[in-house]
Amino acid sequence: MSDHYINYDREPVVNSHEKLIDIIKDIGPEDELVITMDAFDADQSGYIFGILERHGFEVLPKGSNEGDKYHIVAHRKKNHKHS
């Protein structure tokens, strides 16, 4: 089991989307992906959810206790084969 992290608040959105698509190819059914962004950028999450769901992931949105960060925790669906 491995954890993978992407911080959308540290690089341009286009680079982050490319990084996301690149990383999800290597994520197995026991791995976890955590995507973090500033809370005021949470409106981008719909696009990210779409990418993840199209690639067979279940997603869980979470806010930080401080309210300044927004996290998306994703796991590959158990019955989904990835390429």
Fold annotation for 3-76: Rossmann fold (3.40.50)
Distance set, CA 65 to CA 13, 14, 48 (Å): 24, 27, 22
- Per-residue pLDDT reduced to its tens digit, 41-54: 777 788 899 999 99
Confidence tier at 66 by pLDDT (50, 70, 90): confident
- Beta bridge pairs of residue 34: 5, 73
Angle in degrees, 0-180, between the axes of helices 13-24 and 45-54, rounded to the nearest 10: 20
Kindly report the pTM of this predicted structure: 0.80
pLDDT at 10: 65
CA dihedral sign, ordered 73, 71, 1, 12: positive
